[in-house]
Homo-oligomer: A and B are copies of this chain.
Amino acid sequence: MSESIRTSEQTTCATRQRLLEAAGEVFAEQGFRAATIRDICRQAGANIAAVNYHFGDKMKMYAEVLKYAYEKARAKYPSELGPQATPEQRLQAFVQALVYRILDETRLAWHGKLMFREMMEPTEALQTLVEEAIRPEFERLRTVVAELLGPGADIESVLQSVWSVTGQCLFYYHARHIIAVLRPKGAYSQQDMQRIADHVVKFSLSAIRCIEKPKAS
């Protein structure tokens, strides 16, 4: 009888929300396939059938979670600056947001991880995720890099630099277990994250400026 899930009066559909959060954590940790509906429901304090009721099936729930994750991540670490900001400032904002999203190991910060998981082992939901969440950010970064490289840069060069910037950031996520073995240390502090972001920005800006000069001269 202590199982009673809803004791307080909540007008919004609390269960759905709890499912979304629980599923986010579990999916982020285990991946789509390994995660079980039972586990998610238990963690959300909901009945197994709740998933079917609220989302239809596991896959549709996953898609919703992914969308939700994107919105949450965007809200938590906004990466967009006004158009009057310099390209350097906008690059800094972008990298910083990306690094923070990746390295924040707070239990509530499953958002970034879920998205990177989807990137590594895509499901049918990838297409949507890319078009709605990733492509806009990608285009934004591309614009910034294009401005930094100057008008002489061709499309391919811009793209390669975009990958270089992004790759430096994602590495800290993808190689986290390797890094942990090669250079054991605790969790990333706020300072660590800032230092990493600063390095990536400096490294990238230096490279871009050096690359750009020979072309300009």
Contacts and interface: CB of A to CB of B under 8 A. Distances in A.
Interface of A: 1-2, 4, 31, 33-34, 42, 45, 48, 119-122, 126-127, 130-131, 134-135, 138, 156-157, 159-161, 163-164, 166-172, 174-175, 177-179, 181-183, 195-196, 199-200, 202-204, 206-207, 209-211
Main secondary structure of the interface of A (DSSP, over half): helix
This chain's copy number in the assembly: 4
A210 B209 contact: yes
A42 B127 contact: no
A59 to B, nearest CB: 14
A179 B167 CA distance: 12
B210 A119 contact: no
The list of the 5 closest CB pairs from A to B, nearest first, reads A167-B171, A206-B210, A207-B207, A130-B181, A206-B207
A126 B176 CA distance: 12
30 contacts: A1-B42, A119-B174, A120-B174, A122-B177, A126-B181, A127-B181, A130-B178, A131-B181, A135-B182, A157-B199, A160-B196, A163-B168, A163-B172, A164-B200, A166-B175, A167-B170, A167-B171, A167-B172, A168-B168, A170-B175, A174-B174, A202-B207, A202-B211, A203-B207, A206-B206, A206-B210, A206-B211, A207-B207, A207-B210, A210-B210
